[in-house]
Structure 1
Amino acid sequence: MTVLIFALILFPACANVPQAPAAYPIAGVVVDAVTGAPVPRVELWTFVKNAEMKIIAGEDGRFRFTALEAGKYPLYGQAQGYVQEGYDQHGAFFTGIVVGAGLDSEHLVFRLHPQAVIHGRITDEHGDAVRHASVRLFASSNARGMRARGVQLQTQTDDLGEYRFAHLLAGKYYLAVQAQPWYAQAGLKWRNASMQNGSSFRRIEVKLDPTLDVVYPVTFYPGVLNERSAIELNVTAGSREEANIQLQAVPSVHVILTNLPVDEKDANNFGVGANQKIFGSFAAVFPAVSGQISPGEYEIAGLPPGEITFTINQGANPQEARMFSANVSEDNTLDVAASTAALANVSGRVIQQSGNADMQEAELTITGEDNRTASTKLRKDGTFSFASVQAGTYKPYIALPQGGQYVQQVAASGAKVHGRQVTLDGSREAQLTITLARGVGQLMGTAQLDGKPKAGAMVLLVPESGENIEDDSRMDQSDSDGTFALREILPGKYRLMAIDDGWDLEWANPAVLKPFRENAQIFEIVPDGSTKATVNVQRSTKNTPR
């Protein structure tokens, strides 16, 4: 009886004690992605409530995190001689580990990739070391659904002319070197001299030492000057590739730019820059020198032969810069007015669907090729104007103090519109109407293969219209329980698909995506809406276009 009374007294007190949340593990083994052998002493880490938690795997590659609350956790690993990466990582995506009741998070196999190394020596035509040369490593990838080559790493050569790129994944790489001969002295061939009356000018030629007036062209592995002749370095996991490049000095190209606008108030209010596009994505800037020969006429020197992009800056506003490209060799004279694209005055109005709030503090930016941009403040009623915008294709972006709005639609007269892109094609006047909208959606769900959750699948959402693919598509990688989340989706109709082993597909190419689109699910995304879906994973095959 006493025991019974004691129990009755204690029971209410026990009932008020909060129960500790259930604890779950993340455990498994780290193996070499090539050989499958366990990798000892790997450092692994995750984040618990924004706090980093680290452990070291055993000599047998086994690891175990304990006492984790139910939830989703990122998992990273690194070891000497291996690439640092996330669990089942593909580019910027990896599989999150989901722990909780009924989920197996104790039998993970973390495949860590051995690092590849590219190293070498940069020499001049005499075989001597070229110090402080800029060496850029370009990688071939299709991060946005279309294969392209972009800069992955860059470094400078040391005093021995040597360079080294480590911690590389297997893949296709290219090398480009930019340097200046240590003895080179870039100078101008021409200077101006005013006549005695001061109203006219004449050129005076300056004699330059041709042995010093030299440059190194941008040089690609294995020592070629044309990117189309560049040889790829196809490295495998764990490999070590030596790539030596010899540079050859060539005579500096001198270009005379004519028919430039003249600023009578400030003759020095002018600047010219020059660069060369590498693989269509990177601009290698040249340390060229320039000077005025006469009003409206300038010389720029210290350039290599080849396709050069010139940027003409006149005035304090860099947005008024004019750009044009030309293939230069030896000495050239270029008419700037004839070389640059036609200019257009662009004006219009920005309309808010949510009302006509004061837009005086908003800013409109249009971005075009070659990183060409122009910005302007909107007037109170949403109207705007740009003066002297070069012909080309532009995307408009809006920045509002209150935020949360985006460009939904663009209409134009005097210009062509495709999706939300505007092409100015030479008309002197263009009128734009830019409609804004507010509210984005999200799509969350589970990827399944043969009726079971599938981890590591590429989940892809593309616009049904086929327009604005680059901006409006969303992608994720399914987590260990098959779940995925696609966020910040602009309202509209989309196709959802999940693809097994689809990470190297050029999915922005309609022909490549066609067989997967046919089996995709169609969804209408609404502002501020949340949609749930279960998507069946499609298998890519060896015959699938890549």
Structure 2
Amino acid sequence: MVDRSLDVAYPMTFYANATESDEATPIPLRGGDRIQLDIHVNPAPALHLLFRVANSQGDAISMPQLQKRTFDTADWVQPGGTMQMLSPGLVVITGVAAGRYFVGNQNAIGDSAPQSAEVELSENGQELQIPTSEPPASIKASVQVVGASQLPQQLMLVLRNAKQRPVAFQQVNPQGEVEFLDVAPGQYTLMAATANKPYSVLRMSSEGTALGHALNIQAGSSVTLAISLIGGEGNVEGFAKRDGKPVAGAMIVLVPKNPESNRELFRRDQSDLDGSFSLRSVIPGLYTVVAIENGWDLDWSEPGVIAHYCQHGREIQVSDRAEGPIHLDSAVEVQAK
């Protein structure tokens, strides 16, 4: 028998001393700041939770998977205790701190934020109920690079979920084919890269139908794609001014066309003392450059937030044939936050 004072768990902890991400305290950071933070992880009484298994005679038990919300996604939680059979078909799991969790089986690719509702785990002897999962899907794609006679070596295709979090990586084979298996239903986007060069999805279609940049994957489906990539990158350089005078410390944001489905194309910099800035590793495409004074606490990658500033920004076209840095021929006007 374990002394109850020693039967503890260490909950996931956020700043400042919060155990749920929606209770965390934001940390404002401005250019040049250096901040020291102290985060204390404190022990809490461990829960003893119950779950039932259909076949108690086998040696292997499929253990429930616990996930905890971390802002806009969810992370796996590894219980710090043990799993033990109390009686035929009834198992106890220990070492779990009280809190809100997702409960389920091992998820398919991309299912980083489960569809089931969060459950409040707060009492010893509470029984875990595992929801029925939807059948996974598969994605098979043929890939080509525009203007290239053959594919680059070690080209990787990355599958990202609706939160723009990479959930799977696959290397494209020499025939230009790639396949993702066991994909959870949901919304996805694709990006590609080699070890030293990024690529952007120019076109994507399925059975002759153009799809744009987003994939809506249905449960149990088998999706076949044709993907055209465009490579190359450049640097965009210019000056941030207000009323003809340089502005230092302004936040410079490069906003892609259709930002909702192209968040990986955003770039950001801070203007120097002379107002100059440089936005690096820009993928070819159409963009708007905006300069915002004291804009560092803005959620600049959210399309609804940045759209207001784009109305007064500078549109630029970055060509895949550009050689050397791209210099803006006139200054970007700095806007008030």
SS in 1 for 2:306: helix
Equivalences, count? 320
- Residue in structure 2 matching 1:304, options 88, 97, 107: 97
Listed as ranges, the matches of 1:389-428 within 5 Å are 389-400=183-194, 403-409=196-202, 411-413=204-206, 420-428=213-221
Q: CA deviation at 1:344?
A: 0.5
- Residue in structure 1 matching 2:225, options 428, 432, 436: 432
1:252 partner amino acid: L
TM-aligned CA distance change 1:419 to 1:505, over 3 Å: farther
1:252 to 2:44 alignment: no
SS in 2 for 1:467: helix
Residue of structure 2 equivalent to 1:376: 170
What CA distance in whole angstroms lies between the structure 1 residues aligned with 2:333 and 2:319?
25
1:462 to 2:255 alignment: yes
Q: CA deviation at 1:271?
A: 7.0
1:531 to 2:323 alignment: no
Listed as ranges, the matches of 1:179-328 within 5 Å are 185=2, 214-215=8-9, 217-218=11-12, 226-228=20-22, 249-250=44-45, 252-256=47-51, 258=53, 274-280=66-72, 283=75, 285-289=77-81, 291=83, 300-309=93-102, 324=114, 326-328=118-120
Percent same amino acid among aligned pairs? 24
What CA distance in whole angstroms lies between the structure 2 residues aligned with 1:356 and 1:269?
51
Q: CA deviation at 1:374?
A: 2.6
1:346 to 2:139 alignment: yes
SS in 2 for 1:348: strand
Q: Which runs of 5+ in 2 are unaligned?
A: 30-35
- Residue in structure 1 matching 2:312, options 519, 537, 544: 519
Q: CA deviation at 1:476?
A: 1.6
Residue of structure 2 equivalent to 1:333: 128
- Residue in structure 1 matching 2:179, options 369, 376, 385: 385
TM-aligned CA distance change 1:242 to 1:334, over 3 Å: closer
What CA distance in whole angstroms lies between the structure 2 residues aligned with 1:472 and 1:417?
21
> Contact between 1:516 and 1:538, CA under 8 Å: does it hold in 2?
no
Deviation digits for residues 476-509 of structure 1 (CA, Å, limit 9, x no counterpart): 2222222222222111211122223332333334
SS in 1 for 2:129: strand
What CA distance in whole angstroms lies between the structure 2 residues aligned with 1:370 and 1:507?
15
TM-aligned CA distance change 1:422 to 1:481, over 3 Å: same
What CA distance in whole angstroms lies between the structure 1 residues aligned with 2:37 and 2:190?
45
With normalisation by structure 1, the TM-score equals 0.47
1:517 partner amino acid: C
Q: Could you say what the CA RMSD is over the residues aligned between the two structures, in angstroms?
A: 4.7
Q: Which runs of 5+ in 1 are unaligned?
A: 1-183, 186-208, 236-240
> Contact between 2:205 and 2:211, CA under 8 Å: does it hold in 1?
no
What CA distance in whole angstroms lies between the structure 2 residues aligned with 1:454 and 1:441?
24
Q: CA deviation at 1:348?
A: 1.9
Deviation digits for residues 94-135 of structure 1 (CA, Å, limit 9, x no counterpart): xxxxxxxxxxxxxxxxxxxxxxxxxxxxxxxxxxxxxxxxxx
What CA distance in whole angstroms lies between the structure 1 residues aligned with 2:112 and 2:307?
40
What CA distance in whole angstroms lies between the structure 1 residues aligned with 2:176 and 2:197?
17
Residue of structure 2 equivalent to 1:165: none
Q: Which has the larger radius of gyration?
A: 1
What CA distance in whole angstroms lies between the structure 2 residues aligned with 1:361 and 1:242?
40
Give the number of the structure with larger relative contact order, counting CA–CA contacts within 8 Å between residues 6 or more apart.
Answer: 2
Q: CA deviation at 1:252?
A: 0.6
> Contact between 1:346 and 1:385, CA under 8 Å: does it hold in 2?
yes
Deviation digits for residues 19-56 of structure 1 (CA, Å, limit 9, x no counterpart): xxxxxxxxxxxxxxxxxxxxxxxxxxxxxxxxxxxxxx
TM-aligned CA distance change 1:290 to 1:221, over 3 Å: same
1:455 partner amino acid: A
Q: CA deviation at 1:462?
A: 0.8
Deviation digits for residues 500-542 of structure 1 (CA, Å, limit 9, x no counterpart): 33323333344543443222221111114243222243341xx
